[in-house]
Amino acid sequence: MSTPAIHIENLTKRYGAGDTAVDALKGVDMTIWPGEVVGLVGPSGSGKSTLLKCLGAVIEPTSGRMTLGGQAIFDESWKIDDLRTLRRDRIGFIFQAPYLIPFLDVTDNVALLPMLAGVPDAKSRSRALELLQALDVGHRAKAAVAQLSGGEQQRVSIARALANHPPVILADEPTAPLDSERALNVVRMLNQMAQQYQTAIIVVTHDEKIIPTFKRIYHIRDGRTYEEAGEGRAV
Amino acid sequence: MINLAGRDILHGWGKFLFTGIGLGLLIGVTLTMAGVYRGMVDDAEVMIDNAGADLWVVQQDTLGPYAEPSSVRDDVARDLLGQRGIAQAGNVTYLTMQVSQGSKEARVMLVGYEPGKPGEPEYLVAGRPLARAHYEALADIKTGFALGEQVRIRRHDYTVVGLTRRMVSSSGDPMLFIPLKDAQEVQFLKDNDALLNERARTASNPAFNRPNVPGLLEAVQASQAASHFVNAVLLRLQPEADAQAVAGEIRRWQHLQAYTRAQMEDILVARLIATSAKQIFMFLVILAIVSAAIVAFIIYTMTLNKIREIAVLKLIGATNRTISSMILQQALGLGLIGFMVGKLAATFWAPLFPKYVLLLPGDAIKGFALVMLMCALASTFAIRAALRVDPATAIGG
């Protein structure tokens, strides 16, 4: 068996201290393999966003162990700049709203990530075009963000998440603003990209339309996760 | 690497441009204020240059003739010519007054001088020098008078026979040159009613109207009607003469005050316009603070409007340096547009000002550096706000 893309053990996160302390995560265990798309489902206040922020190296967990591609992170040797580099090179983000940079065109929105990582401009743009074509928005490569439909914007944000070929993508309710057909289309693309680039994708959702498409689902409730086999319905 | 600042500016260029224009007009006012100060200094220096003198001889214990009233007998000039080192001496009078030409009115500095002697305008832009002993005038073009026009000064009409340029007083009033005798009359002689009253008062005084002293009353009255005073004597020195030494001799033997060119410059620039200069400096400081506050506010608002994008940029790995550089470049871009608009505006509106506005390239360069520094400092508030943005805000929850 290969190395898991993400592996976390007994992860906890406490906000505040003393009487006002809140335990958002109370011992989360999770393992995601390369090329796998898993769902993370839970009600509001269950700890989804906190877990996502820990997985995204945005906030530091209080305790527990977390590895990314077999490498431990958040141990004592990690610094802020290391986390920034980690986010840039090894984690892709897809948000509920696309949050594209409005003053950059479609290609540069995607190419910005490799450029930030030091990849030459021409190579970054050709990589961006390749991804945009794979996601069927290549024809809008020179368009301004404001000229795209909601679905197109979401596809561009998927391309941006994949731009540095990260081993892990975190998708925070990526289908929330979309209708059923477009939502399933996004899931289909995520599955396709996960297979093509061997990327592990965690999709945080409470969208009933897409939950049956996951082969594995992590339920999170009161700061703890429970794994469940999904239907893995074809899309 | 993409220039994020440039792309953002291009994306909202209209807003950016109009903001830059607004800021530019403010910078234009600031540059103009500096130009007004420079103009005042230049007017003072031009006035000294145009006098064509090496020494100014004035009444003892005064800062005359421009900064304080001064009265010197007009035969002093003849005495001074006998002194070693002096090549030429010319009597001059200065009087700021209102003159009229038809329906036109102008505030001028009336200068009385002796043709061919120090105090005469060194060049004319049109017409000819004074040729008659009375009732001819040379006017600075800023008076608005034209050649051949009749200008009313007190009781007499003067014909404008020549035009000069950049002949202004330290307060910016254009000069009107007339023969010395006429100027003395304008400055020192009384009107007809006053003369009649004076004569009657003198005649009723038994000390001056003694029956057994014939001719005394007429002599006293004649002395009251004539003036032999001028405001200053301008001296041109011989090439080898030491101005300080000659001035010292005059102070010692003539009991008069003599100022060298450097001393006269000091009186005009450091004393006469010192208060105005301080006033303008205060305006400059206030305008600079207002400009800095506006830039800071604009850049801060622009940054707050991009807070979500900044959070996303930080989340996807953009460094603090990338984000700071984007904001700093925008602030500097705004400063650059503002400065260009301000310089252009100041250049266009400076000639419309009633007083001389001198825009020096050196001041423009200093102004540019100051604007850039001000914009860089103003951007620190926005940079601080941007760097405080938590990348986690890009993720919901």
Of A230 and B248, more confident = B248
Are B60 and B185 within one domain? yes
Q: Which pLDDT tens digit goes with each residue over B141-170?
A: 989 899 999 999 888 899 999 999 988 887
Confidence of residue B350 (pLDDT cuts 50, 70, 90): very high
Chain B residue closest in CA terms to A45: B397
Are B291 and B386 within one domain? yes
Task: Considering only the beta carbons, identify the residue of B7, B316, B390 that sits closest to A87.
Answer: B316
Average pLDDT, chain B: 89
Q: Domain A6-229 is classified in which CATH homologous superfamily? A: P-loop containing nucleotide triphosphate hydrolases (3.40.50.300)
Domain end point (choices B271, B302, B330)? B271
Tokens for B293, please give them.
């506050």
Confidence of residue B210 (pLDDT cuts 50, 70, 90): confident
Task: Considering only the beta carbons, identify the residue of B2, B313, B396 that sits closest to A108.
Answer: B2
Are B171 and B285 within one domain? no
Answer yes or no: are the C-beta atoms of B158 and B150 closer than 8 Å: yes
What angle is formed at CA A224 by the lines to CA A219 and CA A228, rounded to 5 degrees?
Answer: 30
* Cβ <8 Å between A93 and B309: no
* Cβ <8 Å between B395 and A50: no
CB within 8 Å of A17: residues ≥ 6 apart: none
Residues 296-335 of B with CB under 8 A from A: 308-309, 312-319, 322
- Number of folded domains that form chain B: 2
What confidence score (pLDDT) does residue B188 get?
72
Overall average pLDDT of the A3-18 stretch: 91
* Cβ <8 Å between B309 and A48: no
Asked if pLDDT for residue B233 goes beyond 90, the answer is: yes
Are B77 and B180 within one domain? yes
What confidence score (pLDDT) does residue B209 get?
84
Q: Which of B10, B303, B315 to mutate: most A Cβ within 10 Å?
A: B315
Lowest mean pLDDT among A57-71, B154-168, B219-233, B290-304: B219-233
What confidence score (pLDDT) does residue B219 get?
87
Confidence of residue B12 (pLDDT cuts 50, 70, 90): confident
Are B130 and B231 within one domain? yes
Percent of chain B with pLDDT over 90: 42
Asked if pLDDT for residue B311 goes beyond 70, the answer is: yes
Q: Which pLDDT tens digit goes with each residue over A126-175?
A: 999 999 998 889 999 999 999 998 888 988 999 999 898 899 999 988 88
Asked if pLDDT for residue B226 goes beyond 80, the answer is: no
Average pLDDT, chain A: 88
Q: Which of A81, A99, A106 to mutate: most B Cβ within 10 Å?
A: A99
What confidence score (pLDDT) does residue A1 get?
56
Percent of chain B with pLDDT over 70: 99
Asked if pLDDT for residue A218 goes beyond 90, the answer is: yes
Chain B residue closest in CA terms to A170: B395
Closest-CA residue to B168 (of B363, B359, B361, B354): B354
Length of chain B: 397
Of B45 and B396, more confident = B45
Task: Considering only the beta carbons, identify the residue of A53, A112, A160 that sits closest to B2.
Answer: A112
What angle is formed at CA B302 by the lines to CA B297 and CA B308, rounded to 5 degrees?
Answer: 135
- Helix, strand, coil % in chain B, rounded to nearest 5: 55, 20, 30
Overall average pLDDT of the A209-235 stretch: 85
What confidence score (pLDDT) does residue B392 get?
83
Closest-CA residue to B257 (of B129, B76, B393, B386): B76
Overall average pLDDT of the A179-183 stretch: 82
Answer yes or no: are the C-beta atoms of A191 and A198 closer than 8 Å: no
What confidence score (pLDDT) does residue A203 get?
93
Closest-CA residue to B169 (of B177, B161, B180): B177
Closest-CA residue to B298 (of B381, B390, B373, B389): B381
Tell me if residue A224 falls in helix, strand or coil: strand
Are B291 and B158 within one domain? no
Are B289 and B267 within one domain? no
Are B329 and B233 within one domain? no
Are B240 and B362 within one domain? no
Range of the domain at B117: 51-271
Chain A residues within 8 A of B397 when measuring between CB atoms: 48-50, 52-53
Asked if pLDDT for residue A202 goes beyond 90, the answer is: yes
Are B224 and B320 within one domain? no
Cα A41 to Cα B65: distance, rounded to the nearest angstrom: 93
What confidence score (pLDDT) does residue A235 get?
67
What confidence score (pLDDT) does residue A80 get?
63
Are B363 and B217 within one domain? no
Kindly tell me the sign of the dihedral angle through the C-alpha atoms of B236, B237, B239, B245.
negative
Q: How are beta strands B232-237 and B55-58 bridged, if at all?
A: antiparallel
Residue A96 CA: distances (Å) to CA of A30, A159, A171, B150? 23, 15, 8, 85
Cα B230 to Cα A207: distance, rounded to the nearest angstrom: 101
Min Cα–Cα distance to chain B from A62, Å:
16
Domain end point (choices B271, B296, B312)? B271
Overall average pLDDT of the B302-329 stretch: 91
Q: Where are the domains of chain A?
A: 6-229
Overall average pLDDT of the B86-110 stretch: 89
Kindly tell me the sign of the dihedral angle through the C-alpha atoms of B332, B336, B338, B339.
positive
Are B140 and B229 within one domain? yes
Cα B378 to Cα A157: distance, rounded to the nearest angstrom: 34
Confidence of residue B396 (pLDDT cuts 50, 70, 90): low
Overall average pLDDT of the A64-74 stretch: 86
Asked if pLDDT for residue B343 goes beyond 80, the answer is: yes
Domain end point (choices B242, B271, B300)? B271
